Amino acid sequence: MEHKGVTVWLTGLSGAGKSTITVALGEKLRAEGCKVEVLDGDEIRENLSKGLGFSKADRDTNIRRIGFVSQLLTRNGVIVLVPAISPYREIRAEVRGRIGDFVEVFVNAPLSVCEDRDVKGLYKRARAGEIKQFTGIDDPYEHPLNPEVECRTDLETIEAGVDKIMGKLEELGYLPSKVTA
């Protein structure tokens, strides 16, 4: 399928559903014949950003690195899916400005829901003081002010969220109309 390159940046708290939506969205896009790459925030930290901590400066460096790779892929016609907490508005805006073809998706769920979903026990450890600078507990999360899409994962299904994102990609001209028709 012919489509334009775009970075779909999924931001939200840990446990909000970014990775779950990304997997489902990636499957749907690939089934339609789209070229898709996923730049998972956790995987990037282990590989491209190994050694960075969780200070604001290190988080910003990590997001800039993800943004750089996203920009390269986007300009080569790939749909790039980026599930990354990316807690700071300013750095998300910077990356948006560099990439240009950028769709911000706010994967939104209340902190209490994210904590209930926490299979790794990270929130529990953060609340116990074992993990410092944990987003949403002792480090801020600045929610997007004007995301192109908001997925309320506590109120809607993953499929509904995927459909909203697909619809927005079509509306913005990144996908041909027949994909979501």
Provide the annotated active-site residues. Answer: 86
Instruction: Give the separation between CA 108 and CA 98, rounded to whole angstroms.
Output: 25
CB-based burial label for 90 (10 Å; 0-12, 13-18, 19+)? exposed
Q: By three-state DSSP, how is residue 47 classified? A: helix
Do 23 and 8 touch, CB atoms closer than 8 A?
no
Half-sphere exposure in the Cβ direction for 73 (13 Å, CA): 20
Residues 6+ positions from 1 with CB-CB distance below 8 Å: 32, 33, 34, 175, 176, 179
Q: And the tokens for 102?
A: 């950028």
Using the CB atoms, write b or e for 68-87: b if 16+ within 10 Å.
ebbbebbeeebbbbbbbbbb
Structure tokens at 125: 């450890």
Which tokens hold the place of 38? 């996923």
